[in-house]
Amino acid sequence: MKVAEQDLPLQCFYRQERAMPDQVYLSQPMGEGRVTELSWKQVGAQARRMAAHLQGFGWEPGSRVAIIGKNSAHWIIADLAIWISGHVSVPLYPTLTADSVRQILEHSQARAVFIGKLDDWTSMRPGLSGDIERISLPLAPDEACPAWDDIVARTPPLPGDPLRRADDLATIIYTSGTTGMPKGVMHAFGNFASATVSANERFGIGPGARMLSYLPLSHIAERNAVEVLSMTVGARIFFAESLQTFAADLQRARPTMFFSVPRLWVKFQQGVHARMPSDKLERLLRIPLLNRIVKRKILSGLGLDQCRLAAGGAAPMPPDLLNWYARLGLEIIEVYGMTENCGVSHSTVPGDPKAGYVGLPYAGVECRLAPDGEVQMRSGALMQGYYLEPEKTREAMTEDGWLRTGDRGEVDARGRLRITGRVKELFKTSKGKYVAPAPIENRLAANPRIEACCVMGANLGQPFAVAILPPDVLAATADAAQREQVMASLQAHLAAVNQQLDPHERLDFIAVSGDAWTVETGFVTPTLKVKRNVVERHYEARVDRWVAEKSPVVWDA
């Protein structure tokens, strides 16, 4: 897909700034019920002033400037300032260790860092070298460095509308890394333009759209589908204040488009069932006079009654979960992409879902399957390569320019793609049979009592799964009777799943772990993908004991 200059991110921002200067663009909660609202004109003015400050350092064009912080209005304004100043932004996840911060800042050769809203700056701070320039954003922890508001107040803005070419490097995004060390994915402005135009051709998002930004802006999905898309179409962004206020933040935003990962969609469902047991809800939905009232009340309670585009990604959505939301009148679109293709590859088509599939390629996206079943694709949104790692770039691409996704897939007669697992995730049992864990995990995760799971079993007679329970379910199992009930439910679910599997795939048992699989503990990525290698290393010493118990459900919580 050919990129038009008018579709590049900065050009889009300037267009919205001229068209609706006084309309609110960014709504930022400041704590204690206060909200700061910034118009397109105010955002542009602050970005130009900070851009002038960055240019004042005299760095060569294209220098790297990092952003460390949770999502906020000034995260996006800082990104704009970096772009307007002629430099390249390097976002860092707000949950990284000091060692990871140091590695990324050194590898990217960052000249400066914007420090934003953070929960544990004390642990991250040692990752900054003494000579890197520091600027603190509003809501940042205390840091002895120049503050955003002070710089903006004293610095005249850059004049005019500085532009960047389509092939100019816009950002280096370090992958969240389910395996190995993160790589710096380079994306040019043209990649963002190709991705947003291609995706919006399918979904038709226009001015007046409302978004809630809460998934990390350091990840490609939020960066492209919230930050860049908002500039493209003129959407308003609301920011979440905290995990504790998330429900209220959703009510405040009432988004017209909402993207989330499967685990959060499951948590929403669990929250509904906590107030209304599933059997009662099913009865009410079968009553014609009450059906519409009940659906409207539930979606309104979630803050999703105005949602016109709901999407899920980062991991497969269980079909039963998709069906549950569809019965409430909310069709969840499944999207498929990765950092290397700007998050834009495939999606299901509104009104034409197919359970278990991630749908059709977007406009301008080509897809093919390699002989081993690997999904390969190419489009105008493909990365420029991995920063300073030409060998890894060559490994990621075929000789004729297609991206090796690392995912295995199947394509139906209509061209819809189904992801069947990872090319390198297959493991062999002691019987010499290969097992693909992902499809089995998807079936297990359909049980609302399983929050996350990982199928393992290399060199064993049969595979098995380690699972964690939702916090409320785990807490309830402190009561012996409740624990027996949960174990019986999991045993029945295991039997049902095994009936759908080939003999060599059938799980020997489920081991229930009491560990917290969080970003902070290192078990999952910031987008909540399970780090398989971390899970396998953590539990390997317990496997022999679990096998020896010869029980369908092993309690290790």
Rounded (10°) angle between helices 40-55 and 9-19: 130
Provide the CATH number for the domain formed by 5-239 in this structure. Answer: 3.40.50.980
Confidence bin at 481 (pLDDT 50/70/90): very high
What is the C-alpha to C-alpha distance for residues 264 and 267, in angstroms, rounded to an integer? 5
**Per the structure block, which two tokens stand in for 372?**
């081993």
Q: Are 495 and 450 in contact (CB under 8 A)?
A: no
Q: What is the pLDDT of residue 264?
A: 85
Q: What is the pLDDT of residue 503?
A: 84
The yes-or-no verdict on residue 377 having pLDDT over 90 is: yes
- Domain extents in the chain: 5-239, 257-305+307-330, 337-423, 427-556
DSSP letter, residue 227: I
Return the amino acid letter for 489: S
What is the C-alpha to C-alpha distance for residues 339 and 341, in angstroms, rounded to an integer? 6
pTM, rounded to two decimals = 0.85
The yes-or-no verdict on residue 384 having pLDDT over 90 is: yes
Rounded (10°) angle between helices 437-444 and 480-499: 130
Tens of pLDDT along 127-180? Answer: 998 899 999 999 999 999 999 999 999 999 999 999 999 999 999 999 865 455
Q: What is the pLDDT of residue 33?
A: 85
State the pairing for strand pair 332-336/346-347: antiparallel
The yes-or-no verdict on residue 285 having pLDDT over 90 is: no
Say which range, 41-55, 75-89, 207-221, 437-451, has the weakest mean pLDDT: 437-451
Residue whose tokens read 């990092």: 66
Residue whose tokens read 């009450």: 290
| pLDDT, mean over the chain | 92
The yes-or-no verdict on residue 493 having pLDDT over 60 is: yes
Tens of pLDDT along 415-459? Answer: 999 998 888 788 888 877 878 898 899 889 888 889 999 999 988
Tens of pLDDT along 199-237? Answer: 999 999 988 999 999 999 999 999 999 999 999 999 999
Q: What is the pLDDT of residue 149?
A: 97
DSSP letter, residue 144: S
- Classified by CATH at the fold level, domain 427-556 comes out as GMP Synthetase; Chain A, domain 3 (3.30.300)
* CATH class of domain segment(s) 337-423: mainly beta
Q: What is the pLDDT of residue 1?
A: 65
Strand order in the sheet with 133-136: 133-136, 112-115, 64-68, 88-92, 169-174, 184-188, 385-386
Q: What is the pLDDT of residue 180?
A: 55
